Amino acid sequence: MSKEIPLKLIIGAMSNEKGVSEDLIFEAVAAALVSATKKKHGMDIDVRVDIDRASGTYNTYRVWTVVADPATNEPLENPLTQITLSAAQYDDPNLEIGSTIEEQMESVDFGRIAAQTAKQVIIQKVREAERALIVDEYKHKVGELITGVVKKTTRDSIILDLGNNAEGLLKREHMLAKEAYRPGDRVRAYLYGVQTEVRGPQMLLSRTCNEMLTELFKIEVPEVGEGIIEIKAAAREPGVRAKIAVKTNDGRMDPVGACVGMRGARVQAVSNELAGERVDIVLWDDNPAQFVMNAMAPAEIVSIVLDEETNVMDIAVKDEYLSQAIGRGGQNIKLASALTGWTLKVIGDQEAKEKDQVEATKLRDTFIEQLNIDEEVAQLLIAEGFSTLEEIAYVPIQEMLDIDGFDEDIVNNLRGRAKDVLLTKAIAKEEQINDKSPHDDLLEVEGVDKRLAYALAAKKIMSRDELAELAVDDLVEITELSEEEAGKIIMAARAHWFTNE
């Protein structure tokens, strides 16, 4: 049933009053009429209201959804809004599950109750639209510095007014320890996320993250903002001390000097913004050892030992620089570790020498015991840089022949003994992992002895074909063979591919 009412005029007035589009008002009015219709009938039914936007007339329809026929004697889940497929197809055989059936019903008048409901819906939709606009505006600013005015302070956070009904949330853990704010203070912070709340979206801010520091340098140092200088890494103890690693894409420019500025003006401006946080500017280097040396400056480093498997560096510094290298409360070494990505362990020069002596003695005793050689030969091997049995067994023969006093017989004897010890260890280990025995065809490959076969099996390379599929670099990494030796073994493993077998 259609009702002629001045709905068009009402909607036009609402649109002008709320400053929203008529489309939004029509949707709100339709929702209000649906709600009023359901209340009138006192049932949880599905209703659709169709409004003619030109004339302002509207019709109301009750809606059922077609569902599958339930099992025998089982009722429909919601008979007020559902109809079985068999019943629906009685009138229209083309209907399918999921289709809808509509039946026109009496429309309610757009009276006071419906108008009030429409008003509430409109207000809600306006709020949702405003929130969506705020979220859309600020989600593109994530990763930038933004400034706001302190609106409210609590023990755990402060609320910033960002303008246009947008609020920023700066939690206590994202504030510098020395900072205290009062309403009306201006605050600059890094936007790291947008959080949607029932009472409105909030911009999540931080002044303690590493990105806050790098963004400040982009502002204070034009070369950073333009990409001529790149900040490769940053580490902070917020409000106290920080380190950044910089690299230039222009070989004529000193990146450290550019970031410091004339008389330290640029780095001082960043420090002032961060409550006096001291910032060390470090030159980036692709060589990890050199990068660590730059990060530890001005402490004078005597030696560095890298362990790439554990990502640990043992650093020895002159004893007089030890306290400076570690820093108050370990601050300097912690920041250097965070900046470089390596776990750094610092010891004094004298302690390092004592440690090296202990390790050398331990290695000497290992060589004497396992290779059955005298102390003089063991010391000679250590002096030439040999530190494992694998190196003795598999380094190119010429490297050992270059050692004074070593002839071919001595070298072959040492290599044989080292391989025997390694084979014994591999077999002992294999006995603990019974499912990793090498296949017979792996042992038949030229250049593969038992020790090497068991070492490969421990890495799940059990057969000749699995060995043949390896790259040279892979085999070198697994076995510590030279590239030349690894290449020969792989080609021998592949030889059967080219025969008639």
* Together in a domain, 479 and 394: yes
Asked if the structure places residue 279 within a domain, the reply is: no
Asked if the structure places residue 228 within a domain, the reply is: no
Element (H, E) at 272: helix 265-273
Q: How far, CA to CA in Å, does 298 sit from each of 221, 239, 247, 471?
A: 24, 22, 19, 43
**3-class state of residue 371 by DSSP:** helix
Cβ neighbours around 198 below 10 Å, total: 5
**3-class state of residue 105 by DSSP:** strand
Among candidates 114, 187, 173, which has minimal Cα distance to 145? 187
* Together in a domain, 14 and 122: yes
Domain final position from 208, 234, 260: 208
* Together in a domain, 117 and 148: no
Asked if the structure places residue 472 within a domain, the reply is: yes
Q: Is there a contact between 243 and 295 (Cβ–Cβ < 8 Å)?
A: yes
Asked if the structure places residue 238 within a domain, the reply is: no
Amino acid in position 489: I
The phi-psi region of residue 103 (left if phi > 0; otherwise alpha if psi is between -120 and 50; otherwise beta) is: beta
Distance CA(208)–CA(202), nearest Å, equals 18
pLDDT on residue 167: 85
* Together in a domain, 487 and 455: yes
What range defines the domain where residue 203 resides? Answer: 141-208
The CATH number linked to 301 is: 3.30.300.20
The CATH number linked to 423 is: 1.10.150.20
The CATH number linked to 196 is: 2.40.50.140
Asked if the structure places residue 487 within a domain, the reply is: yes
The CATH number linked to 89 is: 3.30.1480.10
Distance CA(192)–CA(173), nearest Å, equals 14
Cβ neighbours around 286 below 10 Å, total: 8
pLDDT on residue 2: 41
* Together in a domain, 26 and 123: yes
| Digitized pLDDT (tens) for each residue of the chain, 501 residues in all | 344 446 677 777 767 766 667 777 788 778 888 888 888 887 788 999 998 887 778 899 999 899 888 877 778 888 888 888 888 888 888 888 888 888 899 888 766 666 676 667 767 777 776 677 778 778 888 989 999 999 999 888 899 988 877 888 999 999 998 888 899 999 999 999 888 766 667 789 999 999 999 999 999 999 998 989 999 999 999 989 999 999 998 878 899 999 999 999 999 999 999 989 999 999 999 999 999 999 988 888 888 888 888 888 888 888 887 888 888 888 889 999 999 999 998 888 777 777 777 877 888 888 888 788 888 888 888 777 787 878 787 777 788 888 877 888 888 888 888 888 877 776 666 555 545 677 888 888 888 887 788 778 877 888 888 888 888 888 887 776 778 888 888 888 888 887 754
Domain final position from 98, 128, 158: 128
How much of the chain is helix, strand and coil, in % rounded to 5? 50, 20, 30
* Together in a domain, 104 and 147: no
* Together in a domain, 428 and 499: yes
Asked if the structure places residue 490 within a domain, the reply is: yes
Domain final position from 128, 154, 179: 128
Distance CA(418)–CA(52), nearest Å, equals 94
Q: Which residue has the tokens 């003795």?
A: 392
Cβ neighbours around 411 below 10 Å, total: 18
Asked if the structure places residue 255 within a domain, the reply is: no
Asked if the structure places residue 12 within a domain, the reply is: yes
* Together in a domain, 409 and 457: yes
- The encoded tokens of residue 431 equal 């006995």
Q: Cα dihedral angle (325, 328, 331, 334), rounded to 10 degrees?
A: 50
Amino acid in position 387: S
pLDDT on residue 115: 66
pLDDT on residue 234: 94
pLDDT on residue 6: 62
Hey, what long-range contacts does 264-270 have (CB within 8 A, 24 or more apart)? Answer: 266/217, 266/220, 266/221, 267/220, 269/220, 270/213, 270/216, 270/217, 270/220
Beta bridge partners of 248: 229
Q: How many domains does the chain have?
A: 4
Distance of CA 186 to the CA centre of its chain: 32
Q: What is the pTM of this model?
A: 0.59
* Together in a domain, 414 and 475: yes
* Together in a domain, 416 and 468: yes
* Together in a domain, 332 and 393: no
Distance CA(32)–CA(491), nearest Å, equals 80
* Together in a domain, 23 and 119: yes
